[in-house]
Structure 1
Amino acid sequence: MAQLDGAEVAKHSTSDDCWVIVHGKAYDVTEFLPEHPGGMKIILKYAGKDATEEFEPIHPPDTLDKYLDKSKHLGSVDMKTVEKEEKEESPEEKERLQRVQQVPQLDQCYNLMDFEAVARRIMKKTAWGYYSSAADDEITLRENHAAYHRIWFRPRILVDVEKVDFSTTMLGTKVDIPFYVTATALGKLGHPEGEVVLTRAAKKHNVVQMIPTLASCSFDEIMDAAEGDQVQWMQLYVNKDREITRKIVQHAEKRGCKALFITVDAPQLGRREKDMRSKFDDQGTNVQNGQQTDNSQGAARAISSFIDPGLSWKDIPWFKSITKMPIILKGVQRVEDVILAVEAGVQGVVLSNHGGRQLDFARSAVEVLAETMPRLRELGYQDKIEVFVDGGVRRATDIIKALCLGAKGVGIGRPFLYAMSAYGEAGVDRAMQLLRDEMEMNMRLIGCTSVDQLNPSLLDVSSLAHHGTGTPRDYLTKWAYDPLVNPPQRSSKL
């Protein structure tokens, strides 16, 4: 088949006749325009043009092959004939690129919050808005982290802690440290290689990676990036079309995924105003057929369009019938539902509020954990299910607190995205190494040499449920205290 000419593609640039170029191939997306989850406007902006740069971070490379009818695949385009758009950099973008050149040395990052501080300064506004945003007033986002600060240690002394081993098992997989890389969407917003960067770092530190349904890389790309016997889990948003869901699950099992994490806290995606505001532009109201359409939620709206709000406990037997993988419910937020999960015969739960991105004022996972494990022990259920937590974990002390309360492991998401966005694979490697070093130090300081020694007697959780309201602020101490700071920018090389 002869290559298409760029001038020919450019003729098809209206809502009634819309072609776009992606990765050197032309596609007729006219009929798809009204169905596009992100709205018509973003496609029409690239009608008759090369949309690869916009398409790449948001969609896995096999998206068009999977979801656009083959009759709409028009063939390859001679890219030499495609008119290149001259993009003038805004003053804001020029400043950002200068900050990228001044990024601190990697070894100046001493903790996970440092990576977030660097990423905030150098990421594109829209990417930062998507990664960092949470629901409504972002109370739950902050509480997820703050809750760990209300748990105090009761360390043992005079214990021989020369040799410390913090390896453990999660769903039958031995890992070197009790955390896993939890599923986070759209990795290429932060780094051109996307989620495979996390795959490689997870291998190096022998931790498990959970593959997101909404990754920027294709599922198979992420699986192919794994080495040897590296273990990966799959996170699933359940599609309204159960046949699609069945194919996704069974393909994951065939490829060697070792567990299925079904997200149960997202019948609709939360309203993330920081993300919405970062996507705002002044191109005018988007009107279709006389009706104003809301495309302001961008990626979130696109994601939520296919998630099934009808998912219920009645679906669990069906999932058990289509796969032999362990089934874990991700996003459980109350003790009663953990008990129902045990009785439904699933193998695990993740106590999680979606990183504060769904229901604002949902309680922190660690607070729910502190209520859950005593109740499971009362019922004799503690060995019938594995309990994980995610949200707000930034230090190895957080990991240790969760394990003392009875969690098998913790999921960490955003910090690794920030490390990847700021420094690529080297950043994620350092972030994981920092956690490993903190883990060794704090296991020694608490007086434990292995994970199986961690137990509730090592904690004081009496302040956990107070939500920070019980202690008056000491302003003298506040103003006298010399606060910790994040790494500084380097001076300009110009």
Structure 2
Amino acid sequence: MAALAAATALTADSIALDTNKHGVSVAELQKHTSLENGVWVAINGEVYDLTEFLLRHPGGAKIILKYAGKNASTIFNKFHPKDVFEQFLTPEQHLGPLLGELQPAQDITEGEEDEARLVRIEKKPALAKIFNASDFEHICKQIIPPNAWAYYSSAADDEISLRENHYAYQRVFFNPRVLRNVTEIDLTTTMLGVRVDAPFYCSAAALAKLGQPEGELSIARGCGSENIIQMISNNASYTFDEIVDAAKPDQPQWFQLYVSENRDLNYKAIEKCNKRGIKGIFVTVDAALFGKREKDMRFHLLEDDDDDGDAGDNLSESGKILSAKDPGLTWEDIKKFKKATDLPIVLKGIQTVDDVLMAIDHEVKGVVLSNHGGRQLDFSRAPLEVLADVSKVLKEKKLEDKLEIYLDGGVRRGTDILKALCLGAKGVGLGRPFLYANSAYGQEGVEKLIQLLKLELSVDMKLLGVSKIDELGPEYLDIRNLHARHLVADLMYNSAYDPLRPPEFRK
């Protein structure tokens, strides 16, 4: 997504890289607006030299150049946690405090507020009108800023994997059993040794502040009130400590680790997890580089309408869209991470049976079958389909108890969760639905989403003929059509079908 690389400050609300600096006058700052003279930016009262960082900035060089010589506090605080520059800048690139007053430059990602969107925010349906996860998506699309929607909803290339992740669930049917006592339903389960109230969790999703000012903080509070695990994104819009502090004292949280080329940063993050009581570290292994997410690219805030420059820099592997963490990440790094902590290490982004077997060989605690929500390699298989293959092989090899299997991507219903559990998943992650619920209604939306999924699970388990999570198994599923992928829509059928209607906005 478009993100502004900026720095932290010597204030109560930020963290500085170096405190032994005399400072920079406003006049001096305003001289440094080009590669020739250096690109300096002021943020929260501090000045930073971003000249060398330009080409490494995930949001591209243009956005930084637009703010060269200016006070970029407003846009920086919108996109980034306070400690972001600990990862990207050297102490020498922090030039010291800004001497003098300089008004913050306008946030160019906002533009003029769309009057119709503001009306929709005012008239959005009451929470009582929300009946399922997709309702949140429908509302969120109409009330959050367009750049936020482009980032949240985008996926790689033609977005085949994005849709296939969900469609796969529609090819699996149930074999319900009857005449069983299902008076009481128990949704509780254990994931990585922690008892939780339902077998699903909030998966890591970056920059929740784009859609909701409280961002990951309100997600943490909502998950805590319902005893659901939150996986903290490595690219969250609040700091790790702020998100942990927002949770209840004993609330279970996981951490998603993106591996950077600077391994020292990774080990520092692991040590923080050790100290703050995190219950599991999920190493993202499917991001050697970012996928080509064209919705986001087309809306990219860095490009001017009259810019006739070569777009090739956006599409090269070193460009701002496709750059990522460390393509040199290997199994040897996983061994080293395991030695650095006693916390469970889980690999997030496994997509084949062979890599699950490799994970078992390396004695990690679990894997997440995931194609990054369809945001990386398009035409990656649906995680549910991979799960069916993995479960079969592990059973044949008697390896079912060697690690815990999780899954994310395309989950919208309680029935989706049950299908994954029947096929051997320990738990199921949802990413975008939590962003949508949080963006539309904040903490109350997060709680409502969790409550709806719990209700669906309870109803569906009763109708399936089971009362406990550990009673679920493959005998409750008909998966004969799971691997039969139908990518061509039946337009005649679809034109005649009267779909379920989302909630109406108040007039």
Whichever residue aligns with residue 292 of structure 2, its letter is R
Partner of 2:96: 74
Q: 1:415 aligns with which of 413, 418, 433?
A: 433
Partner in structure 2 of residue 376 of structure 1: 394
Q: Distance in 1 between matches of 2:360 and 2:79?
A: 36
Q: 1:24·1:78 contact (CA, 8 Å) conserved in 2?
A: no
Q: 1:444 to 1:42 in 2, by over 3 A?
A: same
Cα offset, 1:274, TM superposition: 0.5
Q: Secondary structure at the match of 1:466?
A: coil
Inter-CA distance 426–3: structure 2 relative to 1 (3 Å threshold): farther
How far does residue 464 in structure 1 lie from its aligned partner after superposition? 0.6
Partner amino acid, structure 1, of 2:33:
S
**SS of residue matched to 2:348:** strand
TM-score normalised according to structure 1 size = 0.90
Q: Does the 8 Å contact 2:290/2:323 carry over to 1? A: no
Cα-to-partner distance string for 1:324-366 (whole Å, 9 max, x where unaligned): 1111111111112111111111111111111000111111111
- For 2:487 and 2:88, how far apart are their aligned partners in 1? 51
**CA distance change for structure 1 residues 365 and 293 in 2, over 3 Å: closer, same or farther?**
closer
1:160 aligned to 175, 181, 187, which one? 181
CA–CA distance in structure 1, aligned partners of residues 487 and 205 of structure 2: 32
The CA deviation at 1:20 is 2.1
Q: C-alpha displacement at 1:378, in angstroms?
A: 1.1
SS in 2 for 1:465: coil
Mapped pair 1:389 → 2:407: yes
Which residue of 1 is the match for residue 447 of structure 2?
429
Change (3 A) 1:138 1:148: same
Instruction: Report the counterpart of residue 349 of structure 1 in structure 2.
Output: 367
Q: Distance in 2 between matches of 1:86 and 1:380?
A: 57
* Change over 3 Å in CA distance of 1:321–1:302 after alignment to 2: farther
Deviation of 1:305 after TM superposition, in Å, equals 4.1
AA aligned opposite 2:414 = A
Cα deviation, 1:28-49, whole Å, max 9, x if unaligned, reads: 4344334434332111211222
1:196 equivalenced with 2:217 (yes/no): yes
Which position in structure 2 is the counterpart of 1:455?
473
User: Alpha-carbon deviations, 1:445-478, whole Å to 9, x = none?
Assistant: 11111001111111111111111379x9594x65
Q: Give the alignment partner of residue 147 of structure 1, picking from 165, 168, 172.
A: 168
Q: Confirm or deny: 8 A CA contact 1:239 1:308 kept in the other structure.
A: yes
The aligned residue for residue 272 of structure 1 is 293
Separation in 1, partners of 2:22, 2:358: 60
Question: Are residues 1:483 and 2:499 paired?
Answer: yes
User: Secondary structure of the residue that 1:331 maps to in structure 2?
Assistant: strand
Identity %: 48
Q: Which moved more, 1:314-323 or 1:429-438?
A: 314-323
Aligned to 2:305: 282
**Is the CA contact (8 Å cut-off) linking 1:26 and 1:77 kept in structure 2?**
no
Structure 2 residue 63 is the aligned partner of structure 1 residue 42: yes
> Residues 78, 225 of structure 1: CA spacing in aligned structure 2 closer, same or farther, 3 A cutoff?
farther
> Is the partner of 2:176 in helix, strand or coil?
coil
Partner Cα distance (1:5, 1:240) in 2: 34
Correspondence list, 1:118-197, <5 A? 118-197=139-218
- Which residue identity does 2:504 align to in structure 1? P
Aligned residues of 2:74 and 2:104 also touching (Cα < 8 A): no
Cα deviation, residue 158, structure 1: 1.5
Cα distance in 1 for partners of 2:67, 2:450 equals 40
Quick check: 2:124–2:139 contact (8 Å CA) kept in 1? yes
Map Cα deviations across residues 419-467 of structure 1 (whole Å, 9 max, x no partner). Answer: 1111111111111111111111111111111001111111111111111
For 1:236-315, what aligned pairs fall within 5 Å after superposition?
236-279=257-300, 280-285=303-308, 294-295=313-314, 305=323, 307-315=325-333
Distance 1:402 1:105, change over 3 A: same
Deviation at 1:196, TM superposition (A): 1.4
Counterpart amino acid of 1:374? K
Q: How does 1:320-359 map to 2 (within 5 A)?
A: 320-359=338-377
Correspondence for 2:9: none
CA distance in 2, matches of 1:86, 1:318: 42
**Alpha-carbon spacing, 1:59–1:297, altered in 2? closer, same or farther (3 Å):** farther
| Equivalent position of 2:78 in the other structure | 57
The alpha-carbon deviation at position 415 of structure 1 amounts to 0.4
For the residues of structure 2 that align with 1:257 and 1:194, how far apart are their CA atoms?
A: 19
Q: Given the alignment, which residue of 247, 256, 277 partners 1:235?
A: 256
- Structure 2 match to 1:13: 33
Gaps in structure 1 of 5+ consecutive residues: none
- Distance in 1 (CA, whole Å) between partners of 2:55 and 2:158 is 32
Q: Is the 8 A contact 2:280 2:346 kept in 1?
A: yes
Would the alpha carbon gap of residues 84 and 58 (structure 1) be closer, same or farther in structure 2, given more than 3 Å must change? closer
Structure 1 residues 86 and 32, CA gap change in structure 2 (3 angstroms): closer
Give unmatched runs, 5+ long, in structure 2. 1-20
What is the count of residue pairs matched by the alignment? 483
- Residues 3, 78 of structure 1: 8 Å contact kept: no
Secondary structure, aligned partner of 1:418: helix
Q: What SS does the aligned partner of 1:169 have? A: strand
Paired with 1:166 and 1:430, the residues of 2 have a C-alpha distance of 17
* C-alpha distance in 2 between matches for 1:31 and 1:473: 52
Residue aligning to 2:484: 466
Q: Which amino acid aligns with 2:96?
A: L
Helix, strand or coil: the match of 1:188? helix
Question: Partner amino acid for 1:13?
Answer: T
SS of the residue corresponding to residue 215 of structure 2 reads: coil
TM-score, scaled relative to structure 2: 0.88
Aligned to 2:259, the other structure's residue is in SS state coil
Q: Per the alignment, do residues 83 and 191 of structure 1 end up closer, same or farther by CA in structure 2, a change over 3 Å counting?
A: closer
Shift of 1:7: 5.9
